[in-house]
Amino acid sequence: MAQVHPTAVVHPDAQLHETVEIGAFSVIGPKVKIGPETRVGPHAVIEGRTTLGARNRVFQFAALGASPQDLKYGGEDTELILGDENQIREFTTMHIGTAGGGGATRIGNRNLFMGNSHVAHDCVVGNGCILGQGSAIAGHVSVEDHVIFSGLTAVHQFTRVGKHAFVAGGSMVVMDVPPYCVAQGDRAELAGLNTVGLERHGFTSEQIGRVKEAYKVLFRSKLGVAEALERLQTELGGHPEVDHLIQFIRQSKRGLTR
């Protein structure tokens, strides 16, 4: 049997793995599924159709699976899905999706959501990301792997943030942030490349060199975006790190942070 504190309120229809721990005064709703070795701290609330994988840690006062803060939401049976080994710190909030956004908010593996951070409806967050204290990502935002948001950052709805990007504290992101880049400021602008992050994740000096060259072509030359992408495809195409950057930019709908 799962270890449930006597003061916790767990609906009999909730599905808890036998190794789950539920802390004092927490509330677990009827459509919740919690996987192996996940620990839920005191005073946490997990409701809605919410699924947590293995070895997650939900700290005190976190609130997962509540209805979206979207006036168009009409009570649809949408869901929140989290992978494995995520840390969800104090007062973090994550909401279920909406029918208009695909019906699900999806969180990957090994992410850290610091205190008072927020993940809105229909967001997709990859693996190994960090949302700093008080950070908030609005509805329909897509965040690729290994992205770091420093404290008090905010991301506008429908924006995408590419993998290995770094967003400085207090930034307001309103357009897509390309992979590997550093963004900062109110209405954030690019401030170079996250080379420290790339090194930490095993990028070779040759790979980093190609990313630097691609950055120069895209953001330091006088070429238009289409012309710059064509040049990158011709000169550096075939290398995965550059190909991903090209694909990300070609799929942009909101436009790029420059």
Q: What does the longest C-alpha to C-alpha distance in the chain come to?
A: 66
Whether 122 is catalytic is: yes
Indicate which residue of 122, 126, 146, 162 is catalytic: 122
Query: Could you report the per-residue pLDDT of 166-219, keeping only the tens digit for each?
Result: 999 999 999 999 999 999 999 999 999 999 999 999 999 999 999 999 999 999
Name the domain count of the chain. Answer: 2
Residue 1 pLDDT > 90, yes or no? no
Indicate which residue of 132, 139, 162, 197 is catalytic: 139
The answer to whether the beta carbons of residues 235 and 249 sit under 8 Å apart is no
For residue 19, give the amino acid letter: T
Whether 201 is catalytic is: no
Please tell me the distance from the alpha carbon of residue 70 to that of residue 115, in angstroms, as a whole number: 23
| Domain shared by 116 and 234, yes or no | no
Query: Could you report the per-residue pLDDT of 135-151, keeping only the tens digit for each?
Result: 999 999 999 999 999 99
Query: Could you report the per-residue pLDDT of 42-83, keeping only the tens digit for each?
Result: 999 999 999 999 999 999 999 999 999 999 999 999 999 999
| Domain shared by 24 and 113, yes or no | yes
| Domain shared by 85 and 9, yes or no | yes
Whether 11 is catalytic is: no
Q: What is the CATH number of the domain that holds 243?
A: 1.20.1180.10
Query: Residue 123, SS3?
Result: coil
Indicate which residue of 43, 95, 118, 121 is catalytic: 121
Q: What is the CATH number of the domain that holds 18?
A: 2.160.10.10
**pLDDT for residue 177:** 98
Residue 220 pLDDT > 90, yes or no? yes
The answer to whether the beta carbons of residues 99 and 80 sit under 8 Å apart is no
Query: Could you report the per-residue pLDDT of 85-128, keeping only the tens digit for each?
Result: 999 999 999 999 999 999 999 999 999 999 999 999 999 999 99
Residues in the chain: 258
Q: Tell me, yes or no, whether 183 lies in a domain.
A: no
**Backbone CA torsion sign across 102, 180, 52, 44:** negative
> What's the rounded mean pLDDT across residues 160-164?
98
Domain range for 79 is 3-143
